Amino acid sequence: MKKLKTVLGIGAIAVASFFIIAADHIDAPAVAGGNSDITDFYAFQGQNEDNLVFVANLQGLLSPSTTGSATFNENVLVEFNIDTDQDNIEDLVIQAVPRNGKMYFFGPIAPAQTGLNSMIQTNALTGEVDITAYGSAPVITTNGGMSFFAGPRDDPFFMDFAQFSEIIAGNATGFNSPGADTFAGTNVMSIVVEVPKSMIGGSGTINTWVESKRK
Amino acid sequence: MMKNIKILALVLTVSLMTFNCSKDDDNNVKSNAPDFSGTYVQEDQMGRPAVNTVFVASADKDTYNITTPSSQNAAFQSKFEANLLALSPAYANGGTNALGQDAATFTGLLATDVLNVSLDGKTTFFDGENVLTGRALADDVITVELLLIFGGEDFSENPGLSNDNVDANDKTFLTSFPYLASPH
């Protein structure tokens, strides 16, 4: 056990900020905690099994008292990337960007350019939805088989991050049982879009990731 | 010359201000269409949970976020492997995880930070049967990753480190859209 602790100690120095805030919360200095900081990304089969659901969460660890004033930034584009031919380059994108209290959605569509810089695919507006206010029932719109939501939700991520920090710091040798969810009681700003699988490749395996991009 | 530049700058400033004023003019019917123009430059990205936070050294975190997935393996796999070997004794002496992957293979998978998603069936990070077919809200992704990092060939190694013993969210997810629970 002592050897393990030593190994972990070396690991902590080498990795420096192992699990700083897990999933992707506050993952890097340039974005930490800001309005482009992606906290989490999910992709799963919908209630309608012919559909896939994409979730992007931003701005982690919002307390109930700060959630009401949290907003999406109009200069930040959230882009779901979909690779359908296994080269890890996006063949399709779904873009979400807010304007005047609404979230606008474009795609799925082949992007004009792949990579780090994006233009909004204004030729492919597929939906828009009022950004749900904190404390209100979720506003949902549908169009062409797609469903759209944007607004504050409970952070679905769960982990005993505090105890992990203690382990890494050398103050503990393992997790507690039961553990304590560091993310309990906190909110995120969520963008949820559900899309027919037929629009994103139909069958097989896709590779997907989410990006935030600033104008 | 300098003076000309200043005048030009002044003219530009005035014209920009004029443009802004007209843009906010409610009597202008054209102002109803939102402006989506411009180039958006990447700041953050994410595929699988916790990859940047776990495997990328502090100095590289911003770079990792702006390296396209197709370039990540070449740039980061060897660093990931060194970090994994320093962090977990489970991979020492050719040890593997429960997927049969040694340190090079496992970090080769992780360095390209995309989420693999099946369009043909159950979508889960790992449910004991399906591996990396998506990520559902209720998936205990951290315990899965801890098991793969620390748990060794049969998930039995380093038991105190391979499960954080937080197995579920604090709120129940919805069965229908938008699936995430209402905020606290």
Domain boundaries, chain A: 24-159+180-214
Q: Tell me whether B46 touches chain A (CB under 8 Å).
A: yes
Angle between helices A2-15 and A161-168 (to 10 degrees): 100
Which long-range contacts link A110-113 to residues 24+ away (Cβ below 8 Å)?
none
Q: pLDDT (tens digit, 9 = 90+) per residue, A8-29? A: 443 433 333 333 445 677 677 7
| Residues on chain A touching B140 (C-beta within 8 angstroms) | 158
Phi and psi at B96, nearest 5°, equal -130, 170
- Residue B132 in any domain: the answer is yes
Q: Is the ipTM of this complex over 0.95?
A: no
Would you state the structure tokens that stand for residue B17, as one six-digit string? 């201000």
Average of pLDDT values for B20-31?
44
Cβ proximity of B23 and A194 under 8 Å? no
Strand order in the sheet with A51-62: A38-45, A51-62, A187-196, A146-154, A141-143
Average pLDDT over all residues of chain B = 86
Strands (E), chain A: 38-45, 51-62, 76-83, 92-99, 102-109, 117-118, 125-130, 141-143, 146-154, 187-196, 205-214
Average of pLDDT values for A124-141?
98
Average of pLDDT values for B93-109?
96
At A24 the pLDDT is 75
What part of B 135-174 touches A (C-beta under 8 Å)? 135-137, 140-142, 158-161, 163-171, 173
- Residue B4 in any domain: the answer is no
Distance of CA B15 to the CA centre of its chain: 41
What is the share, in percent, of chain A residues with pLDDT greater than 70? 88
- Residue B111 in any domain: the answer is yes
Name which of A180, A200, A210, A191 is nearest A55 in CA terms: A191
Average pLDDT over all residues of chain A = 89
- Residue B65 in any domain: the answer is yes
Q: Is the pLDDT of residue A126 over 80?
A: yes
C-alpha distance from B9 to closest chain A C-alpha (Å): 23
C-alpha distance from A110 to closest chain B C-alpha (Å): 16
Q: Is the pLDDT of residue B5 over 80?
A: no
Q: Tell me whether B32 touches chain A (CB under 8 Å).
A: no
Interchain proximity B119–A206, CB inside 8 Å: yes
C-alpha distance from A144 to closest chain B C-alpha (Å): 16
Name which of A9, A74, A80 is nearest A38 in CA terms: A80
Q: Is the pLDDT of residue B183 over 50?
A: yes
Name which of B75, B48, B60, B55 is nearest A29 in CA terms: B60
Q: Is the pLDDT of residue A180 over 90?
A: yes
Average of pLDDT values for B135-153?
96
- Residue B56 in any domain: the answer is yes
Unique residue bearing structure tokens 């159950």: B122
Interchain proximity A116–B86, CB inside 8 Å: no
Unique residue bearing structure tokens 């590779």: A207
At B65 the pLDDT is 94
| Residues on chain B touching A167 (C-beta within 8 angstroms) | 161
Write the residue in B43, B124, B179 that is nearest to A213 by C-beta: B43
Across A30-39, A154-163, B28-37, the highest mean pLDDT is recorded for: A154-163
At B10 the pLDDT is 40
C-alpha distance from A197 to closest chain B C-alpha (Å): 7
Name which of A143, A82, A36 is nearest B116 in CA terms: A82
Distance separating alpha carbons of residues B5 and B180, to the nearest angstrom: 54
pLDDT-derived band at B58 (thresholds 50, 70, 90) equals confident
Cβ proximity of B61 and A29 under 8 Å? yes
Unique residue bearing structure tokens 């069965």: B175
| Residues on chain B touching A15 (C-beta within 8 angstroms) | 54-55, 57, 83, 86-87
| Residues on chain A touching B130 (C-beta within 8 angstroms) | none
At B8 the pLDDT is 42
Q: Which residue segment(s) compose the domain that B91 sits in?
A: 51-154
Write the residue in A4, A67, A158 that is nearest to B170 by C-beta: A158
Distance separating alpha carbons of residues A183 and A194, to the nearest angstrom: 25
Interchain proximity B119–A197, CB inside 8 Å: yes
At B48 the pLDDT is 95
| Residues on chain B touching A38 (C-beta within 8 angstroms) | 44-46
> Which segment of A41-45, A46-50, B29-33, B75-79 scores lowest on mean pLDDT?
B29-33
At A169 the pLDDT is 82
- Read off the amino acid at residue B181: A
Q: A156-194 burial, b if ≥16 CB within 10 A, otherwise e?
A: bbbbbbebbbbbbeeeeebbeeebebbbeebbbbbbbbb
Across A1-10, A119-128, B25-34, the highest mean pLDDT is recorded for: A119-128
What does each C-alpha distance from B39 to A113, B65, B83 come to in angstroms?
11, 18, 36
| Residues on chain B touching A185 (C-beta within 8 angstroms) | 170, 184
Q: pLDDT (tens digit, 9 = 90+) per residue, A93-103? A: 999 999 999 99
